[in-house]
Structure 1
Amino acid sequence: MGEEYNAALLEKQIYHAGCSGCKVEQMKQLRRGYPYLELAFVWIIVLSTSLPISSLYPFLYSMIEDFGVAESEKDIGFYAGFVGCSFMFGRALTSLSWGMVSDRYGRKPIILVGTISIAILNALFGLSVNFWMAIGTRFLLGSFNCLLGTMKAYASEIFREEYQATAMSAVSTAWGIGLIVGPALGGFLAQPADKYPNVFSKDSIFGRFRYALPCFTISAFALVVTVLCCFIPETLHNHKLDSKAYDDSLETLEESSASTTNAGRNERKASQVSLLKNWPLMSSIIVYCILCLHDTAYSEIFALWANSPRKYGGLNYSTNDVGTVLAISGVGLFSFQVFVYPFAERLLGPVLVTRFAGALMIPMQISYPFIANLSGLSQSIMLNCASILLNVLSVSAITGLLILQNKAVEQSQRGAANGIAMTAMSLFKTVGPAGAGILFSWSERRLDAAFLPGSHMVFFVLNVIVMVGVALTFKPFLTTARR
């Protein structure tokens, strides 16, 4: 009976010999059972690209101090912002181009380019000896950071229809975990000769380059992922359609055709829908960009605030202390996304999940300046609870928007849609670190202000960003596709 069913499935589909995409479609038709292997590959690839993005934040304060470019402690946040935003600026300039290249030459080559670039360029950043080398290597790292958009398209192509939601959840969860585990690694492994003198001497490479160890660790992981990526299948079809070849990527951006499915069907859909006029897609991308702007600004501000002296309203935490808080938050986020989020999404839907998560972030951020007034165990407990909740809520809100984006377009348009989302999001995230650094530096100069002194102003601005995002989740701005 099973063989007859498989044969019937294969008869309905035309497969082209030598086409890697057709081989994947055939595998999906025949395969039964949960796709553990595919999920594992998606998870580690997305994790490898998210780790270096925010891994520098716990030690960025000390790194800028070591470079000697800041005239005073109050100016450190200003320079730190430019190092942070250089990555996002590079990614904003190249995301769309990488998407076009992946549509033409395949997903696998772009994935390999992305993991190799992380292995090389992140290691070079760890060897930075001055401010401009740090900015340059981060800019190049961002320019070659081509994995997230490509992996969204790859995940939608490698999984059967019933596992599409699981695939997108895996992408967003791995991304969120990487943005927390990366800073944890940076916090624990920076300045190893000072923290672990019995293991690392002052004369070793890690003694001379105090921030190389966390960067080298992430690069080593990316190198292992590169080797594993050699065994993943290519999902892009390499045969030509009878009616017309695949659309050029620029034409697809302006007016994306509902072209052939991944099975390589010969008939094109007659109707053409411009992605830029697809309001369910564009509205979800706008809200997504606003919440991503907050996410990036918060990541930098949290590390700067935790590292800064108590006289400026900070916690005077070491990089190890920051790493501990972020590691605990990562465990909490992973547990929530795996066990709770799928149930919440089914119960409330992605729009309400995003709206409620954003609204609950506001009181969490209000509490941060007051946590700085505590001490000892009470401060540690309150800070960890607030950090876990804020990270869980932030990733949940963003995951809901990713689901909305993929539901707003046909499968054949998801590559172009993800390219638009990545470019827009990167532009917003370019502003985030620079703005956060300038804002933090300014807040330390107004400790005695009558209105929102010191860090109160920083977290107030973060709340304003969140409130704008939450307000835009209501109709008529945010609309959902009817499918």
Structure 2
Amino acid sequence: MVKDFNVANGSDASFFAGILVSAFSLAEALTGMFWGGLSDRIGRKPVLLSGCFGTMVSLLLVGFASNFWVALFGRALGGILNGNIGVIQTMVGELVKRPEHEPRAYAVMPFVWSIGTIIGPAIGGLLAKPAESFPSLFCRDGLFGRFPYLLPNLVCSVLLLFSIIFSWLFLQETHPEMQPCNTTNHLDNRSAEHPLLATAGATANAGADLRAESYGTFNHVHLYDDEDWAVRADGSKPEKSSQRQTIFTKRVMMLIIALAIFTYHSMTYDHLLPIFLQDKNAQNIPGVVGGSVLKFPGGVGLSTRTVGLIMSTDGIIALFIQSVIFPVLAYYLGVWKLFMVVTILHPVAYFMVPFLIHLPRSLLFFGIYGCLIVRNILSIIDYPVLLILLKQASPSDSVLGKINGLAASAGAASRTIAPPIAGYLYSTGAEINCTALAWWGSTLAAIFGAVQLLFMERKKHSSAIVQPAAPCHYFPSETQTRNDTVHIIVTDADPGMAAV
């Protein structure tokens, strides 16, 4: 597209194309927190629909662009009006009420993202320049002949229009303070059930282990790091403190930084891999003798067609890991332990890639897919786990949108700077016969992410034992007022702390 705008020759086209890509991420980084905060005030659904509409406008502007600057404006406008990512993360967090369902729910987003990365390039490649690809259907002097990149953008705009219509009709608002209140119908059951946090581990009371859904009426409760429950002797609640709540706590900020670091080195992998696989393989690479294994001249030297097949297969591997492996690991290890494991192991995924050029041809594809599997397992697990931890670290559900908005902005900023830095390191490494320089730069970034774990605290209330001190069943009566008192004992994992 850039070449057709006649603003660059063959060698500069990738630079200007990179500007188009980065314009969206940069604009999104500047406005992500604004859209998240706005969703906290007016609701998630209006911001989500406006974000879809803004993306539609951006697509149409790019499709009708007659020069580079119109396309650049369209991309930047799309980033400014796109408040979707942080809001969608917030809505998923508010829809999921039970912690054991969070891993599978948060895995849905990267799952459908992977599907989009497979379908999206196919739409672009198939429908771009339709007058040349399908001359019997599209005239060179017609609309799609004058605007050769309009058709794929138009198809995506139609898909977004359907998304807006269906969301308007069927998507329910998830903001906790904007829910319809119908307490009477909720209490008019023979047994009113209120969820509390399930117990687990060796300290769980076998007689009241609430992991089994068939036992009792308690299975979940929200316990926040800095929250105190206070009631007067008569059972009434005291007035809330007028002190302003701290939204961006140390834990929240550390998780956002971790997300930005992860997004950076993950984006460098996506940018470098196809370049490295297609880069010419230098002839007569020395063997392992004399330490020459540390010389990395060039890349693997595969054809464009072969690299395309590998990238498509990579999407299938990602789908399998998201839908099968991640929920199982989250169930057995828990969210926090899983986060620590994948963060510590992440540098390995980058460090091993440049050694592919030293493999014999017979083992090359085995090595490539081995690297892809390791990387996918680590990166695909890291993203949803970080989102779950962000939700748990939020001091209140009413500010979750602003927190996710800042996280989306941080991720967009990382996506903006990652490709040019990785590209510069690869070019510099190619000049000194060490293309591993770019990969090891990403390794260093992943090591920073692992070191950051030392400064990150685990959530205080990670588990609790809940035992009913009295039967918790409500039997409605026409004459009796609903002022029953239920006593619940919540014991923290620390034997020295308890609240009644």
Distance 1:480 1:162, change over 3 A: closer
Counterpart of 1:416 (choices 395, 398, 402) is 402
Change beyond 3 A, Cα 1:315–1:165:
same
Task: Return the match for 1:447 from 427, 430, 442.
Answer: 430
Q: Give the corresponding residue for 2:77.
A: 140
**Which aligned pairs between 1:82-93 and structure 2 lie closer than 5 A?**
82-93=19-30
1:280 partnered with 2:263? no
Q: What's the counterpart of residue 160 of structure 2?
A: 222
Give the aligned residue type for 1:79. Answer: F
Letter in 1 for 2:246: S
1:316 Cα deviation (Å)? 6.1
Write the distance in 1 (CA, Å) between the matches of 2:71 and 2:25. Answer: 14
- Do 1:64 and 1:79's aligned partners in 2 also have CA atoms closer than 8 Å? yes
* Shift in Å, 1:146: 0.6
Which one of the candidate residues 260, 280, 287 is aligned to 1:289?
260
Residue type matched to 2:172 in 1? Answer: P
Cα distance in 1 for partners of 2:157, 2:374 equals 30
Structure 2, gaps ≥5 residues long: 182-225, 228-236, 283-297, 462-500
Match of 1:401 in 2: 386
Normalised to the residue count of structure 1, the TM-score between the two structures is 0.68
Secondary structure of the residue aligned to 1:109 is helix
- Equivalent residue number for residue 235 of structure 1: 174
Higher alpha-carbon deviation: 282-291 or 392-401: 392-401
State the Cα deviation string for residues 459-480 of structure 1 (Å, max 9, x = none): 222222112112212x2x1212
- Residues 33-91 of structure 1 show CA distances to partners (whole Å, capped at 9, x for unaligned) of xxxxxxxxxxxxxxxxxxxxxxxxxxxxxx44444444553x44433432221111111
2:334 aligned partner: 349
Shift in CA distance, 347/470, structure 1 to aligned 2, threshold 3 Å:
same
* Residues in 1 aligned to 2:130 and 2:368: alpha-carbon distance in whole angstroms: 28
The reply to whether residue 459 of structure 1 matches residue 397 of structure 2 is no
**Quick check: 2:103–2:326 contact (8 Å CA) kept in 1?**
no
Question: Which amino acid in structure 2 is aligned with residue 220 of structure 1?
Answer: V
Residue 324 to residue 112, structure 1, CA distance change in 2 (3 Å): farther
Kept in 2: contact 1:329–1:387 (CA 8 A):
yes
Q: CA deviation at 1:120?
A: 3.1
Which stretch of the first structure deviates more once superposed, 131-140 or 179-188?
Answer: 179-188
Q: How far is 1:147 from its partner?
A: 1.0
Q: CA distance change for structure 1 residues 340 and 391 in 2, over 3 Å: closer, same or farther? A: closer
**Cα contact 1:294–1:432 (8 A) shared by 2:** yes
1:302-321 correspondence to structure 2 within 5 Å: 302-306=273-277, 313=299, 315=301, 317-318=303-304
Structure 1 residue aligned with 2:412? 426
- Quote how far apart the aligned CAs of 1:290 are: 0.5
Aligned to 2:39, which of 102, 117, 129? Answer: 102
Secondary structure at 1:480's aligned position in 2? coil
Deviation, structure 1 residue 396: 1.0
Deviation at 1:167, TM superposition (A): 6.7
User: Which one of the candidate residues 143, 154, 175 is aligned to 2:91?
Assistant: 154
> 1:310 offset after TM fit, Å?
6.1
TM-fit CA distance, 1:229: 0.5
Q: Aligned pair 1:337/2:322, yes or no?
A: yes
- Maintained 8 Å contact 2:265/2:446: yes
Name the residue aligned to 1:79.
Answer: 16
Please state how far the C-alpha of 1:282 moved relative to its aligned partner: 1.4
Q: 1:348 to 1:269 in 2, by over 3 A?
A: farther
1:289 Cα deviation after fit: 0.7
TM-fit CA distance, 1:432: 2.0
Q: Secondary structure at the match of 1:396?
A: helix
In the alignment, the residues of structure 1 paired with residue 127 and residue 303 of structure 2 have an alpha-carbon distance, to the nearest angstrom, of 14
Distance 1:374 1:457 in 2: 19
- Asked if structure 1 preserves the Cα contact closer than 8 Å seen for 2:269 and 2:350, the reply is no
Q: CA deviation at 1:380?
A: 4.9
Q: Structure 1: how far apart are the matches of 2:152 and 2:365? A: 24
Contact 1:122 1:219 in 2 (8 A): yes
Q: In 2, distance between residues paired with 1:228 and 1:326?
A: 32
Q: Distance in 1 between matches of 2:129 and 2:417?
A: 31
2:33 counterpart letter in structure 1: L
Quick one: percent identity of the two aligned structures? 24
Which is greater in Rg?
2
1:468 maps onto 2:440 in alignment: no
Task: Give the superposed CA RMSD.
Answer: 4.0
Q: Residue type matched to 2:173 in 1? A: E
| 1:373 Cα deviation from its structure 2 partner | 7.3
**Deviation of the 1:187 alpha carbon:** 7.1
* Change over 3 Å in CA distance of 1:363–1:225 after alignment to 2: same
Seen in structure 2, the aligned counterparts of structure 1 residues 478 and 187 have a Cα distance that, compared at 3 Å, is: farther
CA drift at 1:308:
5.8
The question of whether the paired residues in 2 share the 8 Å contact of 1:153 and 1:418 is answered with yes
Q: Which stretch of the first structure deviates more once superposed, 353-362 or 139-148?
A: 353-362
> Residues of 1 paired with 2:121 and 2:383: CA distance?
21
Using the alignment, how far apart are the partners of 2:359 and 2:127 within structure 1?
Answer: 27
- SS of corresponding position for 1:479: coil
2:261/2:445 contact within 8 Å kept = yes
Change (3 A) 1:373 1:83: farther
Q: Distance in 1 between matches of 2:373 and 2:135?
A: 33
Partner of residue 421 from structure 2, selected from 426, 430, 435: 435
Q: Deviations over 1:98-144 (max 9, x none)?
A: 12322222221111111222233124334544433332222111111
The CA distance in 2 between the partners of 1:335 and 1:462, in whole Å, is: 25
Q: Kindly tell me: are residues 137 and 163 of structure 1, through their superposed partners in 2, closer, same or farther at Cα, counting changes over 3 Å? A: farther
**Which string of whole-angstrom CA distances, capped at 9 and with x for unpartnered residues, describes residues 292-328 of structure 1?**
112223323334445666686474644x655543332
2:129 and 2:365 map into 1 onto residues whose CA distance is 24
The residue type paired with residue 262 of structure 2 is: L
Amino acid paired to 1:398: Y
Q: Distance in 2 between matches of 1:215 and 1:365?
A: 34
State the aligned residue count: 391
Counterparts of 2:447 and 2:318, CA distance in 1: 22
The 1:183/1:230 distance shift into structure 2, 3 A limit, reads: closer
- For residues 136 and 275 of structure 2, what CA distance do their matches in structure 1 show? 28
Q: In structure 2, what is the equivalent of residue 392 of structure 1?
A: 377
TM-score (normalised: structure 2): 0.66
Is the CA contact (8 Å cut-off) linking 1:87 and 1:141 kept in structure 2? yes
